[in-house]
Structure 1
Amino acid sequence: MDILTAEFFQRALIGGALIAITSPLLGLFLVLRRLAMIGDTLAHVSIAGVALGFLINIYPVAVGLVLAIVASFGIELLRRRYRSFAELSIAIIMSGGIALASLLFTVGKGYNLDVNSYLFGSIYTLDNADILVIAIVTVIVLGVVLALKKELFLLTFDEDAASVSGLPVRYFNILISILTALVISASIKIVGALLVSALLTIPAACSLVLSKSFRQSIILVVAIGEVAVVLGLWMAGVWNLAPGGTIVLLLIAILLASLVMTRRTRV
């Protein structure tokens, strides 16, 4: 139990608790808008940015963030171009992200590219700079969601009605994509690029099963994210497990329990 008092574990708890607020919260909007796969897409682009950051000796998370934001603009541009096939935008950008990442990995073979921590997560290696980035992202996301909650609600459930009412739908779509890029770039060192979409989507799936209103969904999605991250970190620390994988498997267990619980109540 000494690990609970270790400084690196306390930093992991702080970073995890912060990202457990923003990722599930933003993921709820993405799931309701049928854009759940955008998490995987921007995560792969972020990894390409991380590899580029190592190559040019610039803070990898910052470079990953820049590329993810650029990709978010690309997704929105393609989504508007292929209105009847919106999922094409996600598939195209994801393919480009994977291709760019593989190319940069090849170029960086002669360098010390520590990308495994970004692929699978390395929350125990969070430093003060990482915590600062995560805290800033949390403040930005919460500030935007609180300030524009009515507009985001209308956009999420009826984009056509939002457009007719005069809401600048295009700019709000870009804003959501940018916020998603921010959250993913801040999350990849916690659960890893390969698992980051789970933190975006599974808490949302749980809350949609359990909740009876949108407001209740927002409360539940954050609560479930916090429980999974904090409890998952504790389990991983005590039993020497992979933190990212433990958190995701715990989220899946919560989802299964939610499905069983609701099925029994209906019967």
Structure 2
Amino acid sequence: MDIIMSGFFQRALIGGLLIGITAPLIGIFLVLRRLSMIGDTLSHAAIAGVALGFVIGDFPIVFGLIFSLLASFAIEKLRKSYKSYAELSLAIIMSGGIALASIFFTLGRDLSMDPNSFLFGFIYTLTPTDLWAMLAVTVVVLLIVGRHLHGLFLITFDEEAASVSGLPVSYYNVMISVLTALVISISIKIVGGLLVSALLTIPAACSLLLAKSFKQSIVIVVLVGELAVIAGLLIAGVWNLAAGGTIVLVLIAVLLLILLGRNIISRVT
């Protein structure tokens, strides 16, 4: 248990708690709008950016953010071009992200780049600078979502009605995409590019089973996200497991327990 008192573990816990707020909070809007795969798409773009940053030798997380933002704008552009096939934009951008990442990993082979750290996270290497960046993103996400909650609620459940009522739908779509890009790019160190979408979607899946209102769903996704981060890090730290993968497995376990509980209740009643 000495690991819990170590500085690197405490930094990992703080970073995980911050991401446990922002990722599920953004994820509930994505899931309700049937855009769950946007997390995977932007994470692959972010991996490509981070890999390029390591090849260049500077600011890998900044490059990851830039690539995620560019991908989010490209998705919105393609969604307008393929209105009846919105998911096609995600497939195109994801393919491009994977292709670029593979090329940059090849270019960085002589730099001792470890692709696994990008794909599955390296939370124990968080620095105070990383934590300040995560805190800044958390504050930005909370402020924007809190200020625009009503508008986000409207476009989430009926985008056409929101547009007719005069709501700037395009503005809100870009806002959600940019916030998602911010959260994903800053989350890569926590759970990695391949697993970050789990933090976006699985808490939302739990919330859909438990919440009776939109406000309840927001509270539940954050609680589930924080529970999974704390439990996952403690389990990973004590038994020397991969932190990102453990967090995701805890999320899946929580979801399965909720499903089991609902089945038991339905049979009893």
Q: TM-score range by the shorter chain?
A: over 0.9
Residues in 1 aligned to 2:25 and 2:263: alpha-carbon distance in whole angstroms = 25
Q: Which residue of 2 aligns with 1:190?
A: 190
TM-score when normalising by structure 2: 0.97
- The alignment's C-alpha RMSD in Å is 0.9
Q: Which residue of 1 aligns with 2:123?
A: 123
For 1:78-97, list aligned pairs within 5 A: 78-97=78-97
Q: Which residue of 2 aligns with 1:5?
A: 5
Deviation at 1:245, TM superposition (A): 0.7
Secondary structure of the residue aligned to 2:131 is helix
Secondary structure of the residue aligned to 1:193 is coil
Residues in 1 aligned to 2:208 and 2:264: alpha-carbon distance in whole angstroms = 16
Residues in 1 aligned to 2:240 and 2:212: alpha-carbon distance in whole angstroms = 38
Deviation at 1:141, TM superposition (A): 0.5
1:42 lines up with 2:42 in the alignment: yes
Deviation at 1:114, TM superposition (A): 3.6
Deviation at 1:111, TM superposition (A): 2.1
Say whether the 8 Å CA contact 1:23–1:183 is kept in structure 2: yes
For 1:212-223, list aligned pairs within 5 A: 212-223=212-223
Secondary structure of the residue aligned to 1:166 is coil
| Aligned-partner residue type, residue 131 of structure 2 | I
1:132 lines up with 2:132 in the alignment: yes
For 1:236-247, list aligned pairs within 5 A: 236-247=236-247
Name the % identity.
64
Residues in 1 aligned to 2:158 and 2:68: alpha-carbon distance in whole angstroms = 26
Q: Which residue of 2 aligns with 1:161?
A: 161
Deviation at 1:210, TM superposition (A): 1.1
Residues in 2 aligned to 1:177 and 1:142: alpha-carbon distance in whole angstroms = 15
Once the two structures are superposed, residues 235-263 of structure 1 have per-residue CA deviations (whole angstroms, 9 ceiling, x without a partner) of 11111111111100010000001111112
Secondary structure of the residue aligned to 2:230 is helix
Residues in 2 aligned to 1:205 and 1:56: alpha-carbon distance in whole angstroms = 39
Greater shift, 119-128 or 86-95, is seen at 119-128
Residues in 2 aligned to 1:189 and 1:248: alpha-carbon distance in whole angstroms = 14
Residues in 2 aligned to 1:160 and 1:131: alpha-carbon distance in whole angstroms = 39
Say whether the 8 Å CA contact 1:120–1:192 is kept in structure 2: yes
TM-score when normalising by structure 1: 0.98
Residues in 2 aligned to 1:114 and 1:172: alpha-carbon distance in whole angstroms = 37
| Aligned-partner residue type, residue 140 of structure 1 | V
Q: Which residue of 2 aligns with 1:234?
A: 234
Structure 2: 5+ residue runs without aligned partners? none
Structure 1: 5+ residue runs without aligned partners? none
Residues in 1 aligned to 2:266 and 2:212: alpha-carbon distance in whole angstroms = 14
Q: Which residue of 2 aligns with 1:205?
A: 205
Q: Which residue of 2 aligns with 1:71?
A: 71
